[in-house]
Structures are given as C-alpha cells and as structure tokens.
Amino acid sequence: MVSEFPWVRVDPRVEGAFGGNLGLAIWRGLLDAAFRNLWSGHGWNQVSVAQMSVAAEYPSSVFVGHTHDIVIDLLLWNRVVLGVLVVAAVATWVVSRSLRMCWLEA
C-alpha cells in the first residue's frame, strides 16, 4: 500500500511487515467472523475476539483492536442484521441532511 505513494519513503523492513494487503486480509477475516455469528455478534469493542475466532483460517502477524472501518466494526459489534440496519439508518440520515442542505441553499 505504501508503494502506491512514491513520495513516501519507508524502510523496506517496515513496509514488508505492515505494507501490502495486510489490512485487506484482516478485513476479509473479520467479515468472515461477522457472518459466522450472524445472529449473535461479538459485542462492543470485541474485534480482537472476532479476529481470534477466525485466526486458524486467516493467520495474521498483527492483532487489531478495531478495524479502522466503521461499517465492519458495526457488523462485528452488533451482529450483521442489526449492523446493516444501523448502517442503513445512518446512510438515510446523511442523504436526507444533504438533500435538505441542497434544498435550503437553492
């Protein structure tokens, strides 16, 4: 990932340890963990527990406390069904506020 930004200079040892598609691999494993617990979820701030539940299938050298992606966090914390509803509610609210602001400015 760092190599996509040629103006950023990073020690190759650091890029090898944390670069590449490590984040995407972690997200893939965490999404799998979310869909394995479709109805129960893992609980608030339990991303590391979710990561450990799929560690055999998605080995990683880095364990995370959060995903840096609010949608995946909500799916893990709340269960997929409720997480989708929360994401849809927030998206609906943002779109309605944006449309209202456009309407008021016109």
Concatenated DSSP letters of the chain: -GGG-TT----HHHHHHH-TTHHHHHHHHHHHHHHHTTTT---TT-HHHHHHHTTTTS--S---S--S-HHHHHHHHH-HHHHHHHHHHHHHHHHHHHHHHHHHH-
User: If you average pLDDT over residues 90-103, what whole number do you get?
Assistant: 92
**pLDDT tens-place string over residues 3-55:** 454 555 555 555 555 555 677 788 888 989 998 888 888 888 888 889 999 98
Count up the domains in the chain and report the number: 1
Higher pLDDT, 95 or 69: 95
Range of the domain at 30: 2-105
Indicate the angle between helix axes 22-36 and 70-78, nearest 10 degrees. Answer: 30
Q: Which two tokens stand for residue 14?
A: 């650091």
**pLDDT tens-place string over residues 42-79:** 888 888 889 999 988 888 778 888 888 889 899 999 88
